[in-house]
Amino acid sequence: MAAHRILILGGTTEARQLAARLAGDPRYDATLSLAGRTAEPKAMPLPVRSGGFGGVDGLADYLKRENIDLLIDATHPFAIRISANAAEASARTGTPLFALRRPGWNEQPGDRWTRVPDLEAAVDALGAARRRIFLAIGRQEAHVFNRAPQHAYLVRSVDPVEPPLTVPQADYILSIGPFDEADERALLTEKRIDVVVTKNSGGEATYGKIAAARALGIEVIMVERRHPADVPAVATAEEALDRIAHLLSPAMKRGV
Ligand code: NAP
């Protein structure tokens, strides 16, 4: 029997984990799709395609042209547009879809979180007085903080922030996780950080800064998730494998 064709929309640790589990399984013929934003993505043991599809139309065309049996949205919880496109293209083409999305972090005793709905609100939450900010939100939207030039920024991202911020005081760290709590505590202390700004991405790889802020009594401005598209979701690669096996079982293919 021909292998089932799966398209994984990736750009996350979970997508890589799932791709690694599917690679080499003769039941499946999986491709990982990346947006192409990271200059040097990690090598993968299965086919990788890179770059946008060209909106919903482009993704729907791809699903039909490539005879995709199952679409898995394993993009970052803050990658809103591609998730909406996946839901729409799935509905249009009748391609089954589920999301692999890690749960968000929850506030723990000792945390000092200020929850905000988006990055604009995060800028407002910093206030008028000068503070030393650790900006750990990725590079794509860092420029939003140009609106608050009174603060001193330490910006960490995988690839450089281009163009750099226009604020008078900004330092940059290029680095890829995971980041452990002890190192994060040392960084926050050494740079005399007053407040951490982060998205509620969830997962362990970047939780160190949250735990470190708690230990040091530092405020965290937490950008909360918007409600994800209304598609079924699982939280781990392991659960995704179960769902794949169920959705692509011979009985389901026959519509039984
Ligand atoms: P986005 O705003 O939701 O998507 C913007 C456009 O990028 C989409 O319309 C699509 O272009 C293209 N795209 C996004 N993900 C793609 C994928 N996996 N394969 C092919 N095309 C993709 O996305 P974003 O927030 O810029 O994130 C881009 C990538 O970085 C995603 O893969 C995401 O998982 C990853 N990432 C995002 C964040 C974050 O905080 N947003 C953090 C870590 C990793 P077309 O419309 O042309 O198809």
> What tens digit of pLDDT does each residue of 36-83 get?
988 777 889 999 999 999 999 999 999 999 999 999 999 999 999 999
Which tens digits make up the pLDDT trace of 130-159?
Answer: 999 999 999 999 999 999 999 999 999 999
CATH of 113-223, one of 3.40.50.300, 3.20.20.80, 3.40.50.1010, 3.40.50.720: 3.40.50.720
- Please name the amino acid found at residue 54: G
Contact 84, 226 (CB under 8 A): no
Same fold flag, 4-103+227-254 and 113-223: yes
Alpha-carbon distance of 209 to 220, in angstroms, equals: 9
Lookup result for tokens 């026959």: 254
For residue 83, how far is its CA from the centre of ligand 1 (angstroms)? 8
User: Do the beta carbons of residue 32 and residue 12 sit within 8 Å?
Assistant: no
Distance separating alpha carbons of residues 119 and 137, to the nearest angstrom: 9
Nearest CA to ligand 1 atom 16: 35
Alpha helices in 103-233 (DSSP H): 119-125, 181-190, 208-216
Report pLDDT digits (tens) over 83-96.
999 999 999 999 99
pLDDT tens per residue, range 107-134: 999 999 999 999 999 999 999 999 999 9
φ, ψ (nearest 5 deg) of residue 42? -65, 145
For residue 251, the model assigns a pLDDT of: 54
- Most informative mutation of 50, 76, 197 for ligand 1 (most atoms within 8 A of CB): 76
How many helices (H) does the chain have, and how many strands (E)?
8, 12
Task: Phi first, then psi: give them for residue 59, nearest 5 degrees.
Answer: -70, -40
| Atom 8 in ligand 1: residue holding the nearest Cα | 82
Q: Given this model, what pLDDT does residue 2 score?
A: 86
| CA end-to-end distance (rounded Å), the chain | 18
Q: Whose CA is nearest to atom 27 of ligand 1?
A: 79
Q: Hey, where are the domains in the chain? A: 4-103+227-254, 113-223
CATH for the 4-103+227-254 domain, from 3.10.450.40, 3.40.50.720, 3.30.1330.10, 3.40.50.300:
3.40.50.720
Within 6 A (CB) of ligand 1 lie 9-12, 33-35, 37, 52-55, 58-59, 75-76, 78-82, 85, 138, 140, 199
